[in-house]
Structure 1
Amino acid sequence: MAGSMKDIKLRIKSVESTMQITKAMELVASSKLRHAKLRVEKSRPCFEVLHQTLADIAASNTDFSSVYTVVRPVKRTCYVVIAGDRGLAGGYNANVFKAAAAHMQGRDCCVLPVGKKALEHYQRQNVEILSKEFHEAEDVSVGHCFTMARMLAKGFLDGEYDEVYVVYTNFVSMLTQTPAVLRLLPLNAPKRPEPGPHQLILYEPDCESVYNAIVPEYLAGLVYGALCESVASEMGARRTAMDAASKNAGEMIETLSLHYNRARQAAITQEITEIVAGGEA
């Protein structure tokens, strides 16, 4: 009985230590989540301005055309997969890989992984990797996103791949994060201007050159926005997972304490019975 009580007490101490770790990780994730949400909010205006500029260029020219809007037969596809750097975030990484695998099925593809987990996953899958430079998602900056965008645009223009997608996690709320697949290239065909008089804008040297110069900036904005959403989603998922782990640890401590008290009560009762029996003898 004494051995059993000692084992329960050691188990309680072990669970309490684990609970302290999960509580600390929850607080760290909550702190990082606030910064990540601010970064998401700040990244959206840049993307909206670039998107509106591209739409204005296309809509204000009747004979507009661009190599970035040409849809060609798909022989090869490139995926930018954004995952986390660490685990302990519930199903965050697994859901991203599941969404990417479903979209990649039956396609000849290559991957540009962002995040340590993404790099490790596709190395195990023996999938062709374009670059290992962006293996730390938290350290990827706006400059790195421009580097990625130029790399993707050059590969698309050179015919190395015919489509480019980004797989990321959309931050809906603190409790909800949904994986998403967004096509980067080719861009959607611009809307033709409506019949009738409309304002024409003169671009130098021409509208197509200006449009093609802006596209890499636009792609960088999309990648950076997806990265900000993913980082915020990872922090939200980790905070939720650590909160659930802390609650489970608390429930486990209560159950073990109940077992310990019962064992202690049984030991005391047995001692009293032995004393009484000895006295009667």
Structure 2
Amino acid sequence: MASMKSIKLRIKSVQSTMQITRAMKLVASSRLRRAQQRVEESRPYHEVLAATLNDIANSNLEFDSVYLKKRDIKKTLYIVFAGDRGLAGGYNSNMFRMIEAETKGKECAFLPVGKKAMEYFRKRNREIISDAFPLVGEISVSDCFEMARIVCKGFADGDFDEICVAGTYFKSILSQVPQCTRLLPFTPGEVEGGREVITYEPGSEETFNAIIPEYIAGIIFSTMCESAASEQGARRMAMENATNNASDMIDSLSLYYNRARQAAITQEITEIVGGAAGGEE
């Protein structure tokens, strides 16, 4: 009887856990739809800015900008997006594993975005240039422009020789890939065909330098949207797997419970029959 009672309590505990994981799965699914919409809406903005920067850089023969100059990389700044919470499968661990491989043997500083990123770099005593963005869920467009201003100033002043952004890019609910992209120095794409000469006012360099922070802010915002969608996708899959595992565990425990109950009933019947036979003798 004690065994049956413990199994029954275990079944009730797993059922309660399954209700929580099922609810978290539904919440993640709802948030994932909104996050996917933000990803699709954010992509055209930085794509147009990137095309404009390429046109400026490739259409002027005598063109120079501090954001184009490549120098010996002594120190790199990484903008790292991670989650605000756990229970998202390997979302956060995959990001940090990629960062450790990317920064191995380098002198680096970090601008963490998200609670998990902030905790990770603080525990390891890594250089953090700003702790003003602790929650991804509270990041606004103005915050992205503030981050762009910080990194552009650091690059222009020579504090950093390279600026990179690391985030998890959403491919599907089943696939979220951590990637690291270099933002500065800006590398123009190759232009097919002849080079068209375009005149900009007040000047090519001034126009280019004015657009770069806008471009960086667009990339940061897009990476934030991709990372948010990836986190919700990973959490949805983790909660779905947890719900399925809980269901399988309940089925297994129910089988054990029924076997124990059947054994107890059989034992009682045997004792009753045995007692009746003894009384007849």
Whether TM exceeds 0.5 here: the answer is yes
Report the equivalent of 1:258: 255
Return structure 1 stretches of 4+ with deviation > 3 angstroms: 189-195
Q: C-alpha distance in 1, partners of 2:189/2:227?
A: 28
Alignment of 1:1-281 (within 5 A): 2-189=1-188, 191=190, 199-281=196-278
CA-CA distance at 1:63 after TM superposition: 1.1
Q: C-alpha distance in 1, partners of 2:262/2:197?
A: 90
1:210-243 deviation line (CA, Å, top 9, x unaligned):
0001000000011111111000000000000000
CA-CA distance at 1:141 after TM superposition: 1.1
Are the counterparts in 2 of residues 58 and 191 from structure 1 also a CA contact under 8 Å?
no
Q: C-alpha distance in 2, partners of 1:192/1:236?
A: 36
Letter in 2 for 1:9: K
Stretches of structure 1 that go unaligned for 5 or more consecutive residues are none
- TM-score under structure 2 normalisation? 0.96
Are the counterparts in 2 of residues 58 and 190 from structure 1 also a CA contact under 8 Å?
no
Q: C-alpha distance in 2, partners of 1:36/1:222?
A: 16
Letter in 2 for 1:3: A
CA-CA distance at 1:201 after TM superposition: 2.2
Q: C-alpha distance in 2, partners of 1:257/1:141?
A: 49
3-state SS of paired residue (2:72): coil
CA-CA distance at 1:59 after TM superposition: 2.2
Q: C-alpha distance in 1, partners of 2:272/2:37?
A: 69
3-state SS of paired residue (1:62): coil
CA-CA distance at 1:191 after TM superposition: 4.5
Are the counterparts in 2 of residues 58 and 192 from structure 1 also a CA contact under 8 Å?
no
Q: C-alpha distance in 2, partners of 1:267/1:183?
A: 68
1:74-132 deviation line (CA, Å, top 9, x unaligned):
11110011000000000000000010110100001010000000000000010011111
Are the counterparts in 1 of residues 67 and 185 from structure 2 also a CA contact under 8 Å?
yes
From the superposition, tell whether residues 271 and 160 of structure 1 become closer, same or farther in structure 2 (CA, over 3 Å): same
3-state SS of paired residue (1:69): coil
CA-CA distance at 1:199 after TM superposition: 4.2
3-state SS of paired residue (1:110): strand
Q: After the TM superposition, which of the residue ranges 244-253 and 58-67 deviates more from structure 2?
A: 58-67
Stretches of structure 2 that go unaligned for 5 or more consecutive residues are none
3-state SS of paired residue (1:113): strand
Are the counterparts in 1 of residues 154 and 160 from structure 2 also a CA contact under 8 Å?
yes
Letter in 2 for 1:187: F
3-state SS of paired residue (1:222): helix
- TM-score under structure 1 normalisation? 0.96
Q: C-alpha distance in 2, partners of 1:153/1:199?
A: 28
CA-CA distance at 1:260 after TM superposition: 0.2
CA-CA distance at 1:194 after TM superposition: 6.1
Count of residue pairs brought into register by the alignment? 278
3-state SS of paired residue (1:64): coil
Q: C-alpha distance in 1, partners of 2:258/2:40?
A: 52
CA-CA distance at 1:189 after TM superposition: 4.3
